[in-house]
Amino acid sequence: MKRAVFLDRDGVINRTIVRDGKPYPPRNLDELEIFPSIAENLERLHSAGFLVIVVTNQPDVARGTQNRETVESINTAIKSQLSIDEFLVCYHDNADHCFCRKPQPGSLLQSAEKYGLSLKDCFMVGDRWSDIEAGKSAGCKTILIDYQYSEIKNVKPDYNVDNFCQAVETILKVER
């Protein structure tokens, strides 16, 4: 069985815009800022035999405050700079009750079927409780990059870290 590291996009790969303690995605390519050392750390994951799959909620499309083309252009820009195997995007809002929208595990389960993944050997890395809940629901190990956002944390991650580099160190240490 194959292994993967599932990554949330905003807050893990790129910087979020934080207003009143809540994170928001970049509104356009000009606001996109990929964190330093992401490329090298993704290569370390690939070298260790992991697929890297981005699983991101982009509800602003359903809310009408963002368009799908802008989200896709941001994803394309990220993919052109980083070694990512696949982007899975949920454009729905909570009211849509979509199974692919985190905290639901639908996107992770879909990837497991597509790639023949052993989810117990996979990791979900995110910066919000919904990422952690999706990973736990799918049976993955979970890592929270904890930015101390002003939101209720409904679930406890397996590991807490300060940044993506520490997340990768944790993954590689656990997998030894």
Domain containing residue 141: CATH number: 3.40.50.1000
pLDDT value for 148: 87
pLDDT value for 59: 87
Q: Per the residue annotation, which of 8, 20, 30, 158 is the catalytic one?
A: 8
pLDDT value for 96: 87
What tokens does 144 get? 């929270």
* 116-158 pLDDT per residue, tens: 999 999 999 999 999 999 999 999 999 999 998 888 777 899 9
8 is catalytic: yes
* 155-172 pLDDT per residue, tens: 899 999 999 999 999 999
Question: What b/e sequence results for 140-159 when a residue is b if at least 16 CB atoms lie within 10 Å of its CB, and e otherwise?
Answer: bbbbbbeeebeeeeebebbb
pTM confidence score: 0.95
- Percent of the chain at pLDDT exceeding 90: 86
Q: Using alpha carbons only, what angle is made at residue 52 by residues 47 and 53, rounded to the nearest 5 degrees?
A: 170
**Mean pLDDT score across all residues of the chain:** 94
What tokens does 7 get? 């990554």
Q: Total structural domains in the chain?
A: 1
- Domain containing 18 equals 3-174
131 is catalytic: no
Beta strands in the chain (DSSP E): 3-7, 17-19, 22-24, 50-57, 86-90, 123-126, 141-145, 159-161
